[in-house]
Structure 1
Amino acid sequence: MKATLAQLCFRGIVLFTTGVFFTLILSLLQIQRNLPLLKLPITFSVLYSPWWVPAISGTASAIVGLLYPCLDQKLGEHQFYEQEWSNVIRCVGVFIGINHAIAKINFTSNLQLSLSLTVLSIGLWWWFDRTTSGLGLGVSIAVIATFITQMLVYHGVCNYTEHDFLYIRAWLPCVLFCGGITVGNIGRQLAVDDFIDSERKRHRE
């Protein structure tokens, strides 16, 4: 299945927009706990996050969403072709629900929060993915992005107290993992739609 440049650009724009949307939702939910995603003296958004945070998240979402169908083809995992947009929308709903639970539920400890999210993350992968490529990319995204966040805190870009940072570190890897799975499913479905459109055009010709 080969995509045209126009199809890839369209997928990239949709995935970029999705990543920005997820970032703003996450920021809004964390503000409800008086914990903005990044505490900086100068901000460019009503959601108290600098402009480059949604931009980086959107770019990462576009890359991840385009990578998923490619890896599926390389590994021969084609079961995602059986999915529909309704399944993808349910995945998005569960992902937003997990973020909402983090903001609303007061866990007794960071360990309880981390373990609960780990179970939910594995469940989301099992219900909506079940592929080796999805699991591998999700774990890779969680590890790399968490490491980058720790470096930002270490170098003073993110001004958190030790208590706040321990709380963030308890949920951030799982949220990133779930976000990778969700964006990957969107990217897969976009690839399926492009493939169907291409086949229809070929048959008409």
Structure 2
Amino acid sequence: MGPLLGEDGFARCPWAGGPGVMRDYHDHEWGRRVSGEAAYLERLTLEAFQSGLSWSTILNKREAFREVFAGFDADAVAAYDDADVERLMGESRIVRNRMKIDAAITNARATVALRESGGLEALVLGFAPTDPPAWHDTAEMATTSAESVALSKELKRRGFAFVGPTTMYALMEAIGIFDPHLIGCHRRGR
């Protein structure tokens, strides 16, 4: 399926059809570069929490995630202890999955450790594809790439968790490592 024309006259990737949180995310954030450690840690954390769930679920809980994870300040989250994990497990405004909560804390600690060798942002950017994809329809789209597999392995080697190749591919799309929009989508190339 290729881009769909919305009621507002703009062609979009088909998952961003009607008005609402998904279309807002598509039009204003997905595929755009972010910068800074907190922005990268946020996206990495949210992609991990999304695993097995719909992205709209995560977007609708995003402000709560930002609140309970201290704005994704790596130092603050890295200092979370067992009491914080229990607090988060009782927080109905987020996805309450102990493995994912533990991974968020583990990843904050690994992010702090990465500062000695250039930081999370530099590491992720180092896996940008040399030949970015350009798809016409969703049937052509991939869910992993050689780069996402390599990024996953490197992050795991550096102590990160919940960073499989598919999750890392979604991260690369989300933060604009390459332009993920379909050819014909009004956001492509912007």
TM-score, normalising length from structure 2? 0.32
TM-score when normalising by structure 1? 0.30
